[in-house]
């Protein structure tokens, strides 16, 4: 990318992270590169319920994260930390901010479109996905990750969601 980010690999990230590799990609940047009021849309599939998993992004020092799903329901712990107070959607339907609610909304073995809207990423200095560490290792497929300002048009967001749904076989309400 032309925004000063660097990746830990020397090939396009989409060629390696095709939904089956549990490796880790890292984008590093100065604080303030990302902004307050961002949205993230990720196509994701959990392949089992064995461990709590982080389906979203996290900072390398693990102080900031979003997208943690439980290994069981109920679980009242928050799905995010250090990223403001975003609103969470699964397949276009608003979901409560608990790991148990995310567990219930995202059945394993099925592709889902996970969205966090209104993220405050202004203090983040890197973004990672994949191997958060024990016990939060992701086991499943991850497709496209879209990160954009919350001020983007509703039509653009709807089109992106529909594109991901069509591509990954997700039925939206």
Contact 77, 98 (CB under 8 A): yes
Dist CA 153 CA 74 (whole Å) = 35
Summarised one tens digit per residue, pLDDT across range 15-24 is 344 444 444 4
Res 31 pLDDT > 60: yes
Q: Considering just the CA atoms, what is the radius of gyration of the chain in Å? A: 15
Task: Report which secondary-structure segment, H or E, holds 66.
Answer: strand 65-66
Q: Count CA atoms within 13 Å of residue 5 on its CB side.
A: 19
Is there a cis peptide before residue 135, judged by omega within 30 degrees of 0? yes
Please give the share of the chain, as a percent, with pLDDT higher than 70.
82
pLDDT at residue 169 is higher than 50: yes
pLDDT above 90: residue 140: no
User: Which of 128 and 82 is assigned the larger pLDDT?
Assistant: 82
Q: Is the pLDDT of residue 75 over 90?
A: yes
């Amino acid at each position: 990318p032309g925004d000063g980010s660097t990746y830990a690999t020397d090939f396009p990230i989409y060629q390696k992270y095709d939904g089956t590799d549990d490796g880790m990609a890292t984008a590093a940047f100065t604080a303030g590169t990302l902004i307050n009021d961002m949205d993230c849309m990720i196509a994701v599939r959990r392949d089992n319920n064995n461990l709590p998993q982080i389906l979203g992004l996290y900072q390398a020092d693990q102080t900031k994260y979003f997208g943690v799903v439980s290994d069981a329901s109920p679980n009242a712990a928050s799905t995010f930390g250090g990223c403001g107070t975003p609103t969470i959607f699964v397949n276009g339907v608003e979901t409560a901010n608990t790991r148990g609610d995310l567990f219930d909304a995202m059945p394993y073995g099925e592709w889902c479109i996970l969205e966090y809207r209104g993220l405050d990423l202004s203090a983040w200095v890197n973004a990672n996905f994949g191997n958060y560490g024990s016990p939060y290792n992701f086991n499943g497929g991850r497709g496209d990750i879209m990160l954009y300002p919350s001020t983007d048009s509703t039509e653009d967001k709807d089109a992106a969601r529909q594109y991901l749904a069509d591509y990954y076989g997700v039925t939206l309400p």
